Structure 1
């Protein structure tokens, strides 16, 4: 692999002569504040390692979005436009006659490639049933401790991928990447099928409100970097997956000679 070539899944390390070097002072400040939250140096020798995995799903969204838009001029235009005007309003609109906005592209990526295909939640069984909770509270503590009633946990696993790819919900083209499908639900959120990429209800991921636009901006920045460096993306029909991306590359035109 040449120095001008890297994998799409490693988009965070995209080479560019205009990249700004890391801010060492800010990194030190971040580490200091994280250390205050995670004082156990034996368990967390580098507190940043505790935070970084949280962003793994964001980068999967970035990679799959990039794979779907890199060879479509209208899609690319939307991301470049958002990069120049990084506002929620621009995220939901476009200057193109097609009216295809960046939000629809990200929504369709989240639908077709949910970063978390399954989401699990666990909770104490006793707290789920008020009647059982009252009954347990009447028992002597030594009996509760021996029976370990307070530690009985119920776990539920939601199959997000099955819901997102269901033809009953999304139609016969559910397995196809079609951002335009979101047009019919524009301005009518109550009638739109629900995306469960961020979970649902009280335990919904807080990233729901900012992660889609953040991912779109990162995609826009990568596309801008690709243009600036004169690179091309070489892709395959396989998109997504933790261990996928075989055959996906950034290449410089000189590499084809």
Structure 2
């Protein structure tokens, strides 16, 4: 097996360790599911379509640390709060790029999300791009977020007037794709003018689905079992690359006179200390990373939150009252007004607790160590933290941990909990760089929708979750009633007012920061 430049094999294990050992000397002591089959492993009662939800079910049976085997691969899962806190120690553990994340490297390479720890482009890109998510930069994105939200409500107004239900996951995907494309790269995919999702989304979903499928078949048989899927995946990757290359080429042809956005930073900004710049190939990988990661998880978070708001009208009413009180009749709420929606933010956090759209993250030992004072790990050994089960740990969240309750996130409750018990964005230095962007966007959009509509669920709908590395409600549709009784102007910014604000606002204040 080939080795990487830092003396590890491509699966992240140190030289000399067999993959089956995983660097866990006492692996056999860890509990595992019953009914293990030769060659196939722990597949009885499991589905290749829902590996994360199967792991949540096993976690309830087996406890805070356990193992699963599938097609000769052994995986260690952790969800106990104390063990997770140990894994969050940056001095002893680091991000592990494995499983489906490593399967995305053919498209994202050494982008921020998929880079191995030893690859220098991660630190370079992080240092160059971090100012693009500063408070000042976020305020510059706000007006564009409002404009995209206005396109969503235009579409929902038409559906409401026609008595049609809205496709929540599909529309949230359109919204978040347009938001990251506009704010980060000055591009408009025209998603709301299309009857179907943009081909970029179709190709992206294809690559995510294929990455997950690779984990559900025996590696030696994958070339045969996934032959057709592999060809489709290659075509999807080629389409994504062409789309991004065209976007970058257009910006370059403009002579660098861009919008001061993330793409400008990638193309024009040198590292403030080393003077290094991102290579053209890495720029492509970073753009794809942001377009995919920057909208896929946020669309899921919005969709789950809207599901819970529709299912809990008392919560929706309380959140709506907060929006009405803080925003009043203003047509276009300001950036600072979004941060004041503290209860609505609790709704979002509670949705992410129950269904973190990035459902797990992997951690590897930097050196030989002992996890939780009990489980020896050799350098390079890794474990997968089940965020969805960590967020349901009854020792942290109580015996009613499955119940939706936004007040779990009031300030007093948050202060009373131990650190590292809520991890929807990963942990440590490699945690999601765009988490504040996502939270601001999602809180803004939820506020606008609650102010404009009453949400009516399908009484026969039962939450089903689809998995494609990220999580998303499946088949979620809502009916809308336009709010009129409050005497408010409709609860979404007037498009002309937003355009006027945009014309008078400074350009996105990212250019030059940190140069």
TM-score (norm 1): 0.61
Q: 1:78 aligns with which of 307, 322, 329?
A: 322
What's the offset of the Cα at 1:129? 5.4
Aligned to 1:215: 442
SS in 2 for 1:128: coil
Is it true that 1:66 corresponds to 2:306 in the alignment? yes
The higher relative CO (CA closer than 8 Å, separation ≥ 6) is in 1
**Equivalents in 1 of 2:385, 2:427: separation in Å?**
10
What's the offset of the Cα at 1:175? 0.2
Q: Is the 8 A contact 2:169 2:472 kept in 1?
A: no
What's the offset of the Cα at 1:245? 2.8
Q: 1:200 aligns with which of 427, 431, 448?
A: 427
Aligned to 1:18: none
Q: Is the 8 A contact 1:79 1:220 kept in 2?
A: yes
TM-score (norm 2): 0.34
Is it true that 1:179 corresponds to 2:406 in the alignment? yes
**Equivalents in 1 of 2:339, 2:476: separation in Å?**
36
**Equivalents in 1 of 2:380, 2:419: separation in Å?**
34
**Equivalents in 2 of 1:120, 1:78: separation in Å?**
38
Aligned to 1:26: 186
Q: 2:341 aligns with which of 73, 80, 91?
A: 91
What's the offset of the Cα at 1:217? 0.9
Q: Is the 8 A contact 2:297 2:357 kept in 1?
A: yes
SS in 2 for 1:111: helix
Cα–Cα, structure 1 residues 247 and 114, in superposed 2: closer, same or farther, change >3 Å?
A: closer
RMSD: 4.1
What's the offset of the Cα at 1:208? 3.8
What's the offset of the Cα at 1:176? 0.6
Aligned to 1:147: none
**Equivalents in 1 of 2:426, 2:170: separation in Å?**
26
Question: 1:180-235: per-residue Cα shift (whole Å, max 9, x none)?
Answer: 223362573775773111122332223344432321112223345x53xxx85434
Cα–Cα, structure 1 residues 205 and 64, in superposed 2: closer, same or farther, change >3 Å?
A: same
Aligned to 1:145: none
Q: 2:290 aligns with which of 51, 55, 68?
A: 51
Q: Is the 8 A contact 2:367 2:380 kept in 1?
A: no
What's the offset of the Cα at 1:110? 1.4
**Equivalents in 2 of 1:186, 1:169: separation in Å?**
11
